[in-house]
Amino acid sequence: MAEALLNQICSGSFIAESAGLEPGELNPLVVEVLGECNIDISGKRPRSVDEVVKSGARFDYVITVCDKASAAKCPMFRGSGKRLHWSFPDPADFTGTRDERLVRTRKVRDAIQKKIDHWCAAHCTEEAA
């Protein structure tokens, strides 16, 4: 979600890429809640952190979004720029009915969007200048 939202909100200043510690299939609830924001990730392929590290890509910022329970496993990207950590629950871990999980996934989306809005307000114009 963070990659898609950052690419939508700060598209003129940053290009975000994402990777997971244990990538699997796209979460259909995440696809749905991003679709509510006119963001289509249905064709995306989840990538592993190892895949990104092995690519040799360099980043100005590495923003990890692992929840507190997974923070110790969050990856290091050697030689990359500033490292930030934004803790959000992982919708893949949500339990309950579909509707309950959908509500919680929307809350995570909204929290990520709020964080990105705030961060981009401080960084996008500064970085683009």
Strands 61-64 and 82-85: parallel
For the full predicted model, state whether its pTM sits above 0.95. no
| Domain carrying residue 41 | 2-123
Determine how many CB atoms are found less than 10 A away from the CB of residue 3. Answer: 19
Residue 128 lies in a domain: no
pLDDT digits (tens, 9 = 90+) for 56-82: 878 888 888 877 666 566 666 665 678
In a domain, 66, yes or no: yes
Residue type for position 33: V
Domain count, the chain: 1
The chain-wide mean pLDDT, for the chain, equals: 85
Least confident of 8-17, 48-57, 77-86, 90-99: 77-86
Q: Which stretches of the chain are DSSP H helices?
A: 2-9, 28-35, 49-55, 98-128
The sign of the dihedral angle between the CA atoms of 6, 11, 78, 47 is: positive
CATH number of the domain that residue 34 is part of: 3.40.50.2300
| Assigned domain for 37 exists | yes
